[in-house]
């Protein structure tokens, strides 16, 4: 009965409707895709099956229906309407990363100061990923959100020192989680180089991750705001709970997406959402603004991970800086797999045994590429980004607000 329900949902064009308590967009986002949208999606599947590059996939989608990212039946506020070169007040803004880096000069140097350690080996391990080669996606969002909230509240153009500290703390928590994840996954490469655990061993890598978390906690305590401390300590709890969720599987097909999205929120989106909320609390007393910041971060964070899961099938190792098909090898059923399972029910057995039998990984990958799982996951990420735009558009116009809107587009179109 459950599999029939899934196939019925897929024929309607909306491959998934989350449980009421799952961390997703509001209920309007979960309506079925319209018949024209489903038809356009079907027309693009042939191209998606033959082109492995995510960039090529996005080109095929936009050529099939160029208004894909400008017309949404779910929201009246569209990406196209908001993504302009000037705000309503006429102020120009530049690339969001350039705009954000105004407040992040010396970011990695300041993080290394927080990690001041006398033991040479532990120091080298702890600083290993703070080499300035990361995307700094989270710190960029945090400082842009800080400015957007400050401008909304009292037209202040400055980022407070405590708000900038949140950007550093967010990057430290994120990096500590990468070190720990690599140990759990026995990963051998990250950002195009060997992982900490492969160079120094698993035991030392765990301790290095712990040290980074402790340094982040000390920096958080110095801010001295109990509300902010509570908000960001929730992130660490969510990271642990998310990892436990990832270790489990759901037999009930109808529960798998809710399980997958809850894991995605806790492991990826919680840090972005709560960091955005933290800087809004420091810059503005209005709870409504805090909720806007949180919802923007949550929706962008989930979309970011959905696209990451797409890239695991469509990008090459050189682009990603880590092996592709890694999730299947770890036994993980991500969005593209769950969508593909609706067209190829034989994947259910593979999901439950976590792709552990010989040939499972290769067969599952082929099923995903033969299905429209990649495309469906991309559509889902698009809807989360539309919700993020809807939320952030409630703030007063500013260059930073428009940059945050543009970042939601970058999340959708990135190829690494």
* pLDDT tens digits, 266-281: 999 999 999 999 999 9
Contact 247, 265 (CB under 8 A): no
User: Which structure tokens are listed for 45?
Assistant: 């599947």
Q: Which of 304-318, 358-372, 401-415 has the lowest mean pLDDT?
A: 304-318
Query: How far, in Å, CA of 381 to CA of 133, rounded?
Result: 26
What per-residue confidence (pLDDT) applies to 315? 84
Quickly state the pLDDT bin for 320 (edges 50, 70, 90): low
Q: How many helices (H) and strands (E) does the chain have?
A: 22, 2
Average pLDDT across the chain, whole number: 81
H-helix segments, 269-321: 270-283, 287-314, 317-320
Residue 61: Cβ within 10 Å count: 22
Quickly state the pLDDT bin for 118 (edges 50, 70, 90): confident
Burial (CB count <10 Å: 0-12, 13-18, 19+), residue 8: exposed
Q: Which of 270-274, 304-308, 411-415 has the lowest mean pLDDT?
A: 411-415
Query: How far, in Å, CA of 68 to CA of 131, rounded?
Result: 37
What per-residue confidence (pLDDT) applies to 247? 86
Query: How far, in Å, CA of 189 to CA of 181, rounded?
Result: 12
What per-residue confidence (pLDDT) applies to 94? 62
Quickly state the pLDDT bin for 322 (edges 50, 70, 90): low
Query: How far, in Å, CA of 280 to CA of 163, rounded?
Result: 9
| 15 has a pLDDT exceeding 80 | no
What per-residue confidence (pLDDT) applies to 415? 85
Quickly state the pLDDT bin for 249 (edges 50, 70, 90): confident
The DSSP secondary-structure symbol of 36 reads: H
Q: Please report the domains of the chain, with CATH numbers, ordered by start residue.
A: 94-413 (1.10.600.10)
What value does the mean pLDDT take over residues 28-32? 39
**pTM score over 0.85:** no
Residues 6+ away with beta carbon under 8 Å from 165: 219, 220, 222, 223
Quickly state the pLDDT bin for 319 (edges 50, 70, 90): low
Contact 176, 205 (CB under 8 A): no
Query: How far, in Å, CA of 186 to CA of 200, rounded?
Result: 13
| 318 has a pLDDT exceeding 70 | no
| 10 has a pLDDT exceeding 50 | no
User: Which structure tokens are listed for 229?
Assistant: 């401390």
What per-residue confidence (pLDDT) applies to 248? 82
| 90 has a pLDDT exceeding 80 | no
Sign of CA dihedral 293, 298, 303, 304: positive
User: Which structure tokens are listed for 21?
Assistant: 């308590």
What per-residue confidence (pLDDT) applies to 310? 96
Query: How far, in Å, CA of 412 to CA of 305, rounded?
Result: 10
Contact 186, 197 (CB under 8 A): yes
Buried b (16+ CB within 10 A) or exposed e, 336-345: bbbbbbbbbe
What value does the mean pLDDT take over residues 20-32? 42
Contact 375, 61 (CB under 8 A): yes
- Give the chain's radius of gyration (CA, Å): 21
Contact 301, 271 (CB under 8 A): yes
Residue located via tokens 């603004």: 289
Contact 324, 316 (CB under 8 A): yes
């Amino acid at each position: 009965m459950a599999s029939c329900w899934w196939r019925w949902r897929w024929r309607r064009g909306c491959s998934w409707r989350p449980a009421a308590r799952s961390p997703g967009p509001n209920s309007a986002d979960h309506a079925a895709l319209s018949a024209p949208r489903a038809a356009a999606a079907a027309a693009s599947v042939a191209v998606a099956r033959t082109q492995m590059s995510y960039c090529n996939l996005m080109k095929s989608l936009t050529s099939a229906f160029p208004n894909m990212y400008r017309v949404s039946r779910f929201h009246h506020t569209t990406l196209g309407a908001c993504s302009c070169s000037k705000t309503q007040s006429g102020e120009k803004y530049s690339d969001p990363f350039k705009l954000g880096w105004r407040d992040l000069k010396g970011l990695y140097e300041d993080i290394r100061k927080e990690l001041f350690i006398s033991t040479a080996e532990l120091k080298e391990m702890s600083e290993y990923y703070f080499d300035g080669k990361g995307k700094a996606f989270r710190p960029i969002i945090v400082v842009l959100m800080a400015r957007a909230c400050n401008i909304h509240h009292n037209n202040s153009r400055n980022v407070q020192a405590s708000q900038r500290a949140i950007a550093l703390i967010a990057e430290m928590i994120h990096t500590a989680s990468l070190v720990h994840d690599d140990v759990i996954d026995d990963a051998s490469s990250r950002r195009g180089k060997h992982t900490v655990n492969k160079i120094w061993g698993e035991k030392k890598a765990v301790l290095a991750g712990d040290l980074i978390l402790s340094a982040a906690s000390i920096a958080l305590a110095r801010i001295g705001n109990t509300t902010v401390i509570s908000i960001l300590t929730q992130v660490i709890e969510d990271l642990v709970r998310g990892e436990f969720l990832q270790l489990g599987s759901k037999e009930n097909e109808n529960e798998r997406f809710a399980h997958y999205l809850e894991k995605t929120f806790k492991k990826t989106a919680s840090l972005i959402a709560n960091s955005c909320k933290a800087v809004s609390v420091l810059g503005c007393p209005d709870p409504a603004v805090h909720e806007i910041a949180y919802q923007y971060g949550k929706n962008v964070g989930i979309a970011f991970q959905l696209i990451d899961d797409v890239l695991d099938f469509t990008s090459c190792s050189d682009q990603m800086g880590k092996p592709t098909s890694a999730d299947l090898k770890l036994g993980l059923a991500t969005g593209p797999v769950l969508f593909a399972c609706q067209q190829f029910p034989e994947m259910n057995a593979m999901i439950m045994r976590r792709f552990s039998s010989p040939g499972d990984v290769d067969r599952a990958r082929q099923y995903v590429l033969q299905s429209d799982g990649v495309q469906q996951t991309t559509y889902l990420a698009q809807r989360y980004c539309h919700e993020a735009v809807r939320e952030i558009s409630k703030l007063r116009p500013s260059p930073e607000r428009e940059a945050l809107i543009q970042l939601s587009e970058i999340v959708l179109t990135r190829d690494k």
